[in-house]
Amino acid sequence: MSLSNDVISLSIQLTAGCNLSCSYCYEKSKANVKLNTDTAKEALDTVIRNVKRPTSIFKSESPRISINFIGGEPFLETALMRELSEYIIEQIEDVHKINEKGSTTFEITTNGTLLNAPESISYLRDYGPRIELSISIDGNKSVHDSERVFKDGRGSYDIVSKNIRYLMNENVNLKRFNARVTLTPEHAKDYAESLISLVEMGFYEIIVSSDKLAVWDEESAKELVSSYVRLTDYLMEKKLIQDVIITDFDPYLGEFGIKGIDTNKYMCKHGRNLCIDVHGNFYPCVALAEHSLKDSPFKYSICAGELINTKHIEKINAAYFEGCADCPIALGCESCAMADYRICGAAGIKSMNRCFYHKAKVLGNHYYYSRMSEVTDFHRRRVKYPNEWGESLMGKEQFEKLLQETHSLSMSCNDLIKDHKQYLLDMEQRNHATDT
pLDDT band at 286 (very low <50, low <70, confident <90, very high): confident
The radius of gyration of the chain from alpha carbons, rounded to an integer in Å, stands at 22
Q: How confident is the model over 304-317, as a mean pLDDT?
A: 66
- Mean pLDDT, the chain, integer: 87
Indicate whether 322 pLDDT > 80: no
* Number of neighbouring beta carbons within 10 Å of residue 6: 12
What is the spatial distance between Cα 43 and Cα 150, in angstroms, rounded to a whole number? Answer: 32
Q: What is the pTM of this model?
A: 0.90
What is the spatial distance between Cα 118 and Cα 176, in angstroms, rounded to a whole number? Answer: 20
Indicate whether 7 pLDDT > 80: no
- Candidates 150, 149, 219; CA nearest to 188 is 219
Cβ within 8 Å of residue 89, ≥6 positions away: 104
DSSP string, 197-256: HHHHHT-SEEEEEE-TT----HHHHHHHHHHHHHHHHHHHHTT-TTT-EETT--TTTT--
pLDDT of the residue at 232: 98
pLDDT band at 302 (very low <50, low <70, confident <90, very high): confident
Indicate whether 187 pLDDT > 90: yes
What is the spatial distance between Cα 366 and Cα 378, in angstroms, rounded to a whole number? Answer: 13
What is the spatial distance between Cα 290 and Cα 28, in angstroms, rounded to a whole number? Answer: 10
What is the spatial distance between Cα 353 and Cα 363, in angstroms, rounded to a whole number? Answer: 18
pLDDT band at 278 (very low <50, low <70, confident <90, very high): very high
Indicate whether 267 pLDDT > 50: yes
Beta bridge partners of 59: none
Higher pLDDT, 138 or 287: 138
pLDDT of the residue at 1: 43
Indicate whether 262 pLDDT > 90: no
Q: How confident is the model over 183-207, as a mean pLDDT?
A: 97
pLDDT of the residue at 319: 43
What is the spatial distance between Cα 426 and Cα 420, in angstroms, rounded to a whole number? Answer: 10
Say what percent of the chain tops pLDDT 90.
58
Q: How confident is the model over 126-150, as a mean pLDDT?
A: 97
Sheet of 282-283: strands edge to edge? Answer: 245-246, 205-210, 176-183, 131-136, 106-110, 64-70, 7-13, 273-276, 282-283
Indicate whether 424 pLDDT > 70: no
pLDDT in tens, 407-423: 887 888 888 777 766 76
pLDDT of the residue at 22: 95
Q: How confident is the model over 378-392, as a mean pLDDT?
A: 84
Higher pLDDT, 323 or 175: 175
Indicate whether 309 pLDDT > 80: no
pLDDT of the residue at 311: 59
pLDDT of the residue at 270: 52
Helix, strand, or coil here: 320?
Answer: coil
pLDDT of the residue at 338: 86
pLDDT of the residue at 318: 46
Q: How confident is the model over 366-371, as a mean pLDDT?
A: 94
pLDDT in tens, 42-85: 999 999 888 877 555 666 666 788 999 999 999 999 999 999 99
Class of domain 7-183+269-307: alpha beta
pLDDT of the residue at 53: 72
What is the spatial distance between Cα 73 and Cα 13, in angstroms, rounded to a whole number? Answer: 9
pLDDT of the residue at 431: 63
Indicate whether 181 pLDDT > 50: yes
Q: How confident is the model over 247-276, as a mean pLDDT?
A: 70
Domain residue ranges of the chain, discontinuous segments joined by + = 7-183+269-307
